[in-house]
Chain A
C-alpha cells in the first residue's frame, strides 16, 4: 500500500496535493482503490461547482457498488480530470496521478492526516 510523502490525507481515504495556499488537487489513495476493486465508472462534479469540506462531491463505481468520495476542502471546482470519465481504471493503475478535480479559492479544510498518520489509520483498519 503506497502512501506518498508530499501529500496530506483524510480519514475517508482521499489525498490532497496543495499547489499553493488556496489551490489543491484531490484524488483517492492506493488503499481506497484496492478496497474498491476495479473501477468502471466515475461521476465528477462540473467546473464552477462549489465544494464543501467533508461533503460528497463525486462518486466511483465498481461492478458491485457505488462509493462516495468526500471533498477535503471548501472551494470551487476549476478543473475536472476528463481522462477519468473515459478511463476510470486509471484510478486503480496510478491512484496518486489520477486526480479527480482541481479546487481553487479554498477557504476551509478538513483536518488532515500526515502520511505517517494515514499509514497508521490504514493499518488499524486492516486489523
Chain B
C-alpha cells in the first residue's frame, strides 16, 4: 500500500500519471510528457514534488564527530547554511547511500537522504552513533518542492528575497510568499535551481503559488521520468544504479567527496585510492542504433568490459546515452564498445562525463 506525499491531490489535479516509487505514489509525468518536461527544465523551469525524500537531524556536542565518522567527506569548517555532498560507506567501502549535509547551526546538521534508503540510513546512523549526539528522523513532517531551470531565480525573486547566493548553500529560516521555508540552492538536474523544504501543511499552497508566479515564464510540473533523464544528462549518479553496497564511491568518480586525510571513518580501510582502481564509471554515447539502458553487458573487442548502470534516450542531447562501470583498461575516452541490448549489439563509445553542462 503506497504512501501519498502532501502533494498527491495536486498531482491528480494536474493530471499526473501516478506510479509507485520508493513506497510512494508519484507522477512519472504529467500531460506534457517526459520530453517536454525535460526541455522545460533546460530552457525555462520545471517544478518537482520530491517530498518522498528523507530528512534527518543530527545534533549535539559530538554531532560533527559523528558525521565525520559516518560519512566519507569532511564536515569541519562549514559555514552556517552551507551544504556538502557525501557518500556514506559500509565497513567494506561499499555505499550505503549518498546524501547532502547542511550546517543548520553550531552542533546541528540537517541531512537529506534518498527516499529509497530513508529507514536504512536512519537505523545505520543510530547503530553507529557515538558520544553526545542525537539523530532525529523528521522526514514525515517535511514536504520538499524543487524548482529547477534557468528561470528559477527570476520566479523565486517574485516571492522572496531569502535566496541563497551561492550554489550548495541554504537560507534556513526563510519565507517564500510568506510561507516559512528552507531555501536551498541545490538540485538534481544540472541547471540552476532551488529545493524548498517546508512543513507538510503548506505544501499545496506553496506549489500553487510557485505555479502561478512561474506561469509567465512557462513553468510546468515535472515528474520522475524527467527527473531521471535530467540527472543522467548531467552525469549525476543515482543510488541503486551507479552505486550500491558493492560499489565504492571512489571507483565511480566521487573521490572529491572522500577525504582520506581524515581520521578513521567507516569504510576507510577498504577504499582504494584513485591510482589503484580496477574499474571506473564512464559515459557512453550511442553511435549505432538503439537505446542503452541499465544492467546491460558491455564488450570491447569481444571481451567482457563491464556493465551499464543507467541509460536512456536523452531529450536535450538528442541521442541515447548511458553510464557504465568498466574495467580500467577500457575506460579511455574514445574507446569503442558494444552493448548487448535485449540480445542485439548496439555500438557506443566512451565519452567524458557529464554529457551536459549548463551554460554560465
Contacts and interface: CB of A to CB of B under 8 A. Distances in A.
Contacts of A66: 291, 293, 342
A61 interface: yes
Interface in A52-104: 59, 61-64, 66, 85
A37 interface: yes
B195 to A, nearest CB: 23
A41 B293 CA distance: 13
Given A37-B34, A38-B33, A38-B35, A64 B225 contact: yes
Which range holds the interface residue count of chain B?
10 to 19
B222 to A, nearest CB: 13
Nearest to B36: A38
Contact of A63 (B34, B289, B342): B34
B290 interface: yes
Nearest to A62: B34
B28 A40 contact: no
Contact of A38 (B34, B289, B290, B291): B34
A63 B290 contact: no
A64 B34 CA distance: 9
A38 to B, nearest CB: 5
B289 to A, nearest CB: 8
Contacts of B289: 85
A33 B109 CA distance: 48
Contacts of A37: 29, 33-34
A125 B229 CA distance: 29
B218 interface: no
Contact of A61 (B33, B225, B229, B291): B291
Nearest to B224: A64
